[in-house]
A and B are shown apart, each in its own frame.
Chain A
Amino acid sequence: MHIAEGFLPPWHAAAWTAVAAPFVIHGARAVVREVRERPETKLLLGAAGAFTFVLSAIKLPSVTGSSSHPTGTGLGAVLFRPPVMAFLGTVVLLFQALLLAHGGLTTLGANAFSMAVVGPWAGYAAYRIATRAGAPLLVGVFAAMCLADLATYVTTALQLALAFPDPVSGFLGAATKFLGIFALTQVPLALAEGFLGVLVMRALTQVAAPELQRLGLIKPDVAQEKIDA
């Protein structure tokens, strides 16, 4: 989902930067507020950021014969709500743009919008819908991880289709082409990411039950049960 440096026309780059900036600034303030108001969740915040950091560094093979990386933003979106991930995800993208020449500064806005804004919000929405419908926490986390991952890549495909419409078939043709590159490859990876998120969340309910209660993810009685188990 990293659009390479210089690979968006200047006004597209500027527009996506303008769109993403308010989310990222709001996210930075959300992180500061989180740390100030609930200092005991600092470790979980670090864990959520680190999870995204690891996953976005690892490119995995997929059924289409190409490889791609997960995003890992769903977990943090469930734990801390999406604005926090808008900031943490952008930090990861900035690191990759500066040190790895992966993504870029001119495309940071577009990449932040897909991975740090749309992904976390889509994941959070999936989590809310699933748990509202009575699904257990872990099912919600699975849905969040999958959707955050997929939505990020679909967004990138649409951003590229907007910037580079097909000379013959226009935006739709280009969208089909870029979705073909990104979305299909991502399906098994999104599922793998979902299972990985469930593994991490299970570990967290074991070791961080009070913190998860403070975040409103589990009810006290459930936490007690986990501690006693």
Chain B
Amino acid sequence: MRRHLVTVALALAVILLVALPLALNAAGEFGGTDGAATAAIESSHPHYRPWFAPFFAPESTEVESGLFALQAAIGAGVLGYALGVLRERRRHRPVSPATTATAATPDGDAATSAGPTP
């Protein structure tokens, strides 16, 4: 129970840290800092010309945000898959001191050499 409360508190902390700026600074434009840095260079060094351009640039901000979403989706998918497989591995591992001993051996997969599985 306490464990779940801590989880909820941590998740709330993350959400608040992101949501509060939006609430406190309603007038903010929330442009990207990367873009702000580029703009700062252009204003302090107006004669600087970028000497290389990307081979491919998303056609519009919509396409760009879609590609960013794709990146997040791939990452979240792999993360979820890894956690899921690890969880199943643990479920099928007998809970005994022997498990820990096996897992601590220098070689041998903890999941496959952990002895009899149910």
Which residues of A sit under 8 angstroms from B87, Cβ to Cβ? 206-207
Q: Please name all residues of chain B whose beta carbon is closer than 8 Å to the beta carbon of A53 when the two chains form the complex.
A: 71-72, 74-75, 78
Interface size on B, as a range, is 35 or more
Q: Is the CB of A66 within 8 A of B52?
A: no
Cβ contacts under 8 Å, B7 to chain A: 199, 202
Contacts of B48 on A, CB cut-off 8 Å?
7, 9, 164
- Cα–Cα distance between A43 and B55 once the two chains are bound (Å): 33
Separation of A224 and B10 alpha carbons in the complex (Å): 24
> Are A189 and B27 in contact, with the CB atoms below 8 A?
no
- B30 touching A61 by the CB < 8 A rule? yes
With both chains docked as a complex, state the minimum distance between the C-beta of A146 and any C-beta of chain B, in angstroms: 11
Which of B21, B69, B85, B104 contacts A61 (CB under 8 A)? Answer: B21
- Among A51, A166, A210, point to the contact of B103 (Cβ < 8 A): A210
Q: Is A155's beta carbon under 8 Å from chain B? A: no
Contacts of B40 in A (CB 8 A): 177-178, 181
Q: B100: which A residues are within 8 A, CB to CB?
A: 210, 213, 220, 223-224
Interface contact A203-B110, CB-CB below 8 Å: no
Q: Determine the distance from Cα of A43 to Cα of B31 in the docked complex, in whole angstroms.
A: 36
Stretch from A15-23, A25-33, A120-128, A190-198 forming part of the interface with B: A190-198
Residue A137, interface by CB 8 Å: no
Flag whether A2 is at the interface (Cβ < 8 A): yes
Q: How many angstroms between the C-alpha atoms of A6 and B72 in the bound complex?
A: 26
Asked if B79 is at the interface of the complex by the 8 Å CB criterion, the answer is yes
Asked if A10 CB lies within 8 Å of chain B CBs, one says yes
The residue on A at minimum CB distance from B48 is: A164
A199 touches B52 (CB 8 A): no
B78–A58 touching, CB < 8 Å: no
Can you pick out 15 interface pairs between chain A and chain B where the beta carbons lie within 8 Å of each other?
A: A5-B52, A7-B48, A46-B79, A50-B74, A63-B25, A65-B27, A66-B33, A99-B67, A104-B52, A178-B37, A181-B33, A181-B37, A188-B20, A202-B7, A207-B86
A153-B33, A199-B11 are known; give 6 further A-B pairs, CB within 8 A: A1-B33, A7-B50, A43-B86, A65-B27, A105-B52, A195-B10
